[in-house]
Homo-oligomer: A and B are copies of this chain.
């Protein structure tokens, strides 16, 4: 079973590959082999005979055509220009987040391969009145170019699935916390930083009022949901291939308080409020309250508590603190 991970050099892609190789979690009993595609790979990429890393740009049609010559049964499409960068650079965001995704679908069409595609969309497709509860019926009203591009690709994934060109599932990911590694250009980057950085003895700041709520999910649950999506019977999804993933509603304050409870108030002293108008203009349009009946019925999972999320991060990273 051949699996392609686009954006395979990013933290989600790397972790997904590891998970798949370790657990062979596909309902198909065939042995798996994985091709990771990204513009670059970190030096600590895992080595495995079943794993191949190809350095290529998703927007490079010839390279992508070449890669798809050996048809994957499943494509995890995780490649993206993150929200902050896509907002600052409309051309780059459109090129990678939109046009390269359309090109992927068109290549599947031309090559007449019919892969299952798990597309990493985002709850950033929602925006506007953040007091409202988002349901499975609520329409995307993005307040960012990133959210706009993700919402357009969801529409394409649905239409190309309806036409039988691919068999896609678009997961609207909550904000991922706690993301390992370094802060990045995602406008949501701070939501991980305020937990991760202090645990490593470093300072961190949040740019929005401490009462601001977010809809979050841990990397561990995201992985489970990606794999679940890839295994899900198309008949259960019907014509609507877009799924709002379940998550947890949590405020910045609740995250910091829980970190203090798990560690100490010495650790959380490293966190400060630094208002940022650009980040606020995007982040404060994200709704934090959802009912995700469809996802739950379909078997997608969420974290039990913020405590569990922070403790899982501490464990996974092998962090020790006083």
A159 CB contacts on chain B under 8 angstroms:
142, 145, 148
Q: Determine if A148 and B137 form an interchain contact, defined as CB atoms under 8 angstroms apart.
A: no
Segment of A19-27, A149-157, A299-307 engaged in the interface with chain B: A149-157
Cα A145 to Cα B142 with chains together (Å): 21
Give the chain B neighbours of A137 by CB distance below 8 A.
132, 137-139
Say whether A142 contacts B163, CB under 8 Å: no
Size bin of chain A's contact surface = 20 to 34
| Residues from 132 to 188 in A contacting B, C-beta threshold 8 Å | 132, 137-143, 145, 148, 151-152, 155-156, 158-159, 162-163
B140 A240 Cβ-Cβ under 8 A: no
User: Do A90 and B163 have beta carbons less than 8 Å apart?
Assistant: yes
Q: Is the CB of A239 within 8 A of B145?
A: no
Partner of A148, one of B132, B142, B156: B156
Chain B residue with minimal CB distance to A162? Answer: B143
Q: How many copies of this chain does one complex carry?
A: 2
Any B CB within 8 A of the CB of A201: no
A95 to chain B minimum Cβ distance, whole angstroms, is: 12
Chain B residues positioned under 8 Å from A40 (CB to CB): none
Which residues on B sit within 8 Å (CB–CB) of A240? 128, 141
Contact call A142/B155, Cβ cutoff below 8 A: yes
Least Cβ–Cβ distance between A135 and chain B, in angstroms:
9
State the CA gap A137–B128 with chains docked (Å).
11
- By a CB distance below 8 angstroms, the chain B residues around A156 are 148, 152
A164 to chain B, nearest CB (A): 12
> How distant is the Cα of A141 from the Cα of B128 in the complex, in angstroms?
20
Interfacial chain B residues near A128, Cβ < 8 Å: 239-240
A226 CA / B90 CA spacing, docked (Å):
29
Give 1 or 0 for each of A110-125: 1 = CB within 8 Å of chain B CB.
0000000000000000
Q: How far is the CA of A90 from the CA of B106 in the complex (A)?
A: 11
Instruction: Give the chain B neighbours of A152 by CB distance below 8 A.
Output: 152, 155-156
Please, could you name 25 A-B residue pairs with CB atoms under 8 Å apart, sorted by A?
A90-B163, A128-B239, A128-B240, A137-B137, A137-B138, A137-B139, A138-B138, A138-B139, A139-B139, A139-B140, A141-B158, A141-B239, A142-B158, A142-B159, A143-B162, A143-B239, A145-B159, A145-B163, A148-B155, A148-B156, A148-B158, A148-B159, A151-B155, A152-B152, A155-B155
- 4 more A-B contacts (CB under 8 A) besides A90-B163, A141-B158, A142-B159? A127-B239, A138-B138, A145-B163, A152-B156
